[in-house]
Amino acid sequence: MTTTATSHRTRPPAQPDSLRAKRLPWYAAPAIAVAALALSAVLVYGTSIGGPVLVVVLGAILYLVGLFAAANAVEGRRSARNRTWSALIHSAFVLAVLPLVSVVWTLVSKGADRLDVNFFQTSMNNIGARDANGGAYHAIVGTLEQVGIATLITVPLGVLCAIYIVEYGRGKFAFAIRFFVDVMTGIPSIVSGLFVLAFWVLIVSPWFNDGRPSFSGFAAALALSVLMLPTIVRSTEEMLRLVPAPLREGAYALGVPKWKTILRVVLPTALPGIVTGVMLAIARAAGETAPVLLVAGGGAAINTNPFENNQSSLSLFVYQQAGDASKYAPARAWTAALTLVALVLILTIAAKLLARRNRLSR
């Protein structure tokens, strides 16, 4: 499947030219490209409707048209289609790489401005609009605590739910649970934030707080759990299904009860895959802004108690600094964004490496 282009250039001597399909010479594609660019430059500057960017875009379109026409004339329609689609697919790749590279480049170059020790040791408490320093310590604490609590809630619940779906569930009820886990994957993060706002902050928390609704890091953790649960259930479910049946049957044949087989044989076998899924879910939850904005309140001071008073988080810190009018705020926002991306990427890379090392599917 690899290459068909090179094999034609070294033609076997036994084959006469009359038996071979005609092909465009190798210099045809670059020649058409140059011609297309020149024509587009003449058109654009002749009518003065745009700049160099338009020349490139128009040139690319002309190139596609020219390539199709030339290949159609020499090689036939099927080959012309093949060439055009191949060129389109390659250009889609180039087109998408540009903005993504720009995002990464901006993140690193702008984020490096405030990447100093002070940023990781101070909070935004008593930092006014004219103060250049101030940091994200409180936000980092908030992110770690909220995501940690959410993980503690979700992992047991998600793994048990997956065990039910794979090992015990039969019939319509299990199908309904599977179906709604899938549906739950698509719940927008802001809706889960609103749910926790309506349920926990406005209805339950006044019971503990003299009748006033209280924002807290724990509420944010609840909202993040709603987002993490379906991811963990799905990945665990997939991993449990990959555990070979002979392992289970061997345990049953030795008289081990089913629950013990699951806990001692099935789960340990699937563990690396489950851990991968959990880490990916954590990485996604750490980057969520909307639910934290709605239910954690977001304070400027360091608050290590997730059950009382406002808490911030890294993503919320980015959002708040982005909306701040101070001229020092954008630098803080970009550095916090860089920190957040670093945290998320480390988790993701670790998860992927773990998945690659312990592959159950074979």
- Closest separation between CB of residue 131 and other proteins, Å? 21
**Of 293, 296, 306, 312, which one interacts with other proteins (CB under 8 A)?**
293
Fill in the per-residue mask, 226 to 265: x = in contact with other proteins (CB under 8 A), - = not in contact: x--xx--x-----------x--xx--x-xxxxxxxxxxx-
Residue 149 interacting with other proteins (CB under 8 A): no
Of the pair 34, 103, the CB lying nearest other proteins is at 103
- Closest separation between CB of residue 171 and other proteins, Å? 12
Judged by CB under 8 A, the chain residues 83 through 102 that form the site for other proteins are 85-86, 88-93, 95-96, 99-100, 102
**Of 20, 22, 81, 327, which one interacts with other proteins (CB under 8 A)?**
81
Handedness of CA 16, 19, 22, 26 (dihedral sign): negative
Residue 59 interacting with other proteins (CB under 8 A): no
**Of 133, 309, 348, 358, which one interacts with other proteins (CB under 8 A)?**
348
- Closest separation between CB of residue 122 and other proteins, Å? 21
Residue 124 interacting with other proteins (CB under 8 A): no
Residue 22 interacting with other proteins (CB under 8 A): no
End-to-end CA separation in angstroms for the chain: 23
- Closest separation between CB of residue 90 and other proteins, Å? 6
Q: What is the largest CA-CA distance in the chain?
A: 95
Binding span for other proteins by CB under 8 A among 34-42, 112-120, 131-139, 280-288: 280-288
Residue 77 corresponds to which amino acid? R
Centroid of chain to Cα 57: 30
**Of 163, 224, 228, 232, which one interacts with other proteins (CB under 8 A)?**
163
- Closest separation between CB of residue 123 and other proteins, Å? 19
Residue 160 interacting with other proteins (CB under 8 A): yes
Residue 307 interacting with other proteins (CB under 8 A): no
- Residues in binding contact with other proteins, number by CB under 8 A: 108
Residue 179 interacting with other proteins (CB under 8 A): yes
Of the pair 9, 13, the CB lying nearest other proteins is at 9
Of the pair 41, 174, the CB lying nearest other proteins is at 174
- Closest separation between CB of residue 349 and other proteins, Å? 7
Residues 6+ apart with CB under 8 A from 346: none
Residue 29 interacting with other proteins (CB under 8 A): no
SS (HEC) of the chain: CCCCHHHHHCCCCCCCHHHCCCCCCCCHHHHHHHHHHHHHHHHHHHHCCCCHHHHHHHHHHHHHHHHHHHHHHHCCHHHHHHHHHHHHHHHHHHHHHHHHHHHHHHHHHHHCCCCCHHHHHCCCCCCCCCCCCCCCHHHHHHHHHHHHHHHHHHHHHHHHHHHHHHHHCCHHHHHHHHHHHHHHHCCCHHHHHHHHHHHHHHHHHHHCCCCCCCCCHHHHHHHHHHHHHHHHHHHHHHHHHHCCHHHHHHHHHCCCCHHHHHHHHHHHHHHHHHHHHHHHHHHHHHCCCHHHHHHCECCCCCCCCCCCCCECCHHHHHHHHHCCCCCCHHHHHHHHHHHHHHHHHHHHHHHHHHHHHCCCCC
**Of 294, 303, 306, 312, which one interacts with other proteins (CB under 8 A)?**
294
Residue 203 interacting with other proteins (CB under 8 A): yes
Residue 157 interacting with other proteins (CB under 8 A): yes
**Residue 306 near residue 287 (C-beta atoms within 8 A):** no
Fill in the per-residue mask, 258 to 277: x = in contact with other proteins (CB under 8 A), - = not in contact: xxxxxxx--x----------
Between CA 329 and CA 153 the distance in angstroms is 35
**Of 55, 197, 219, 232, which one interacts with other proteins (CB under 8 A)?**
197
